[in-house]
Homo-oligomer: A and B are copies of this chain.
Amino acid sequence: MFFLSPGLVAVICAFILWIFDRKRRETQARAEARPRVEEDLKDSTDLQQVEEDADDVEEPEENVEHIPFIHTRYSEKEMVKRSQEFYELLNKRRSIRFISNEQVPMEVIDNVIKAAGTAPSGAHTEPWTFVVVKDPAVKHQIREVIEEEEEINYMRRMGHRWVADLRKLRTNWIKDYLDDAPVLILIFKQVHGFTAKGKKKVHYYNEISVSIACGILLAALQNAGLVTVTTTPLNCGPRLRALLGRPAHEKLLMLLPVGYPSKEATVPHFTRKSLDQIMVTV
């Protein structure tokens, strides 16, 4: 048997509690620092319910008719030329964060979104909604939401590593382009849809499908001579969804500010990986 003064007991307990609390805060910080494709864009309502209710979806009523496919065939020489020119066009695309406030023709915006809407989707569900914001007051409200959340992201949620990686690209939480760009396109993925009778209809691979549509949208914007930057506003999904009055089954995936580059627009001077760094032939 040995003796412990109350003072010594208090010191030991305090030490144990301190270790415990530090460990807890570390775990939490790691969890918050994790960049997640989904988490940050997650809404209060989540996928759980959709999955549980999947059996409520109606049976398809009909067997879709199949028709011959009409194909446009080019000569090999033409194919090489077309593919080379398309690569050269897209290779000029850069993410532009300095956008002029000059207006853009709305017919072009319609066409690029129609092009995005030709993307394939799981079981042809077309699970996308493109919200085109032109109203300066709404653009400014969007900016306020994003800058508020982004400041918190940079300060607390992202972790010093991610912030350091982005600092290279001089990204920060002041987003002038959200006021400046004449058009903001907010792309929502529909995590489920509805049948004619109002029942839930599962949207397989909705995030991949909508991201593919965004890839086509970026190509269409570049082809039309407009610039943008692909942004995924961290933790802003629910507030922006509410601001724009979109339903709960739609979740924000991306936001593209669209316009012409401003006169002083600069880009980071980096290169792309070469073909042999991204392609393997078997």
Interface centre among A107, A113, A223, A226 (most CB of B within 10 A): A223
Given A51-B34, A119-B218, also A269-B90 (CB < 8 A): no
Q: Is residue A115 within 8 Å, beta carbon to beta carbon, of the partner chain?
A: yes
Give the complex CA separation of A220 and B87 in angstroms: 8
CA distance A87 to B114 in the complex (A): 6
Chain B residues near A207: list those with CB within 8 A.
Answer: 37, 207-208, 211
Chain B residue contacts of A156, Cβ below 8 A: none
Pick from B118, B129, B134: contact of A91, CB below 8 A: B118
| A240 CB to nearest chain B CB (Å) | 11
Q: Of B132, B168, B273, which one neighbours A279 at CB under 8 angstroms?
A: B132
B117 and A105 form a contact (CB under 8 A) = no
CB atoms of A90 and B115 under 8 A apart: yes
User: Number of A residues whose C-beta is below 8 Å from B?
Assistant: 144
Main secondary structure of the interface of A (DSSP, over half): mixed
Q: A194 near B: Cβ within 8 Å?
A: no
The answer to whether A111 and B35 have CB atoms under 8 Å apart is no
15 contacts between A and B (CB under 8 A): A4-B9, A16-B20, A37-B38, A60-B164, A66-B266, A66-B268, A67-B267, A69-B266, A76-B108, A79-B224, A80-B107, A84-B111, A130-B280, A212-B212, A216-B216
Closest 5 CB pairs between A and B? A215-B215, A211-B211, A83-B111, A212-B215, A66-B266
A contacts, CB < 8 Å to B:
1-6, 9, 13, 16, 19-20, 23-24, 27-28, 30-31, 33-39, 46-48, 51, 54-55, 57, 59-60, 62-74, 76, 78-80, 82-84, 86-87, 90-96, 98, 104-105, 107-108, 110-115, 117-120, 122-124, 126, 128-135, 138, 159, 161-162, 164-170, 202, 204-208, 211-220, 223-227, 229-230, 232, 244, 246, 253-254, 260-261, 265-270, 272-273, 275, 278-282
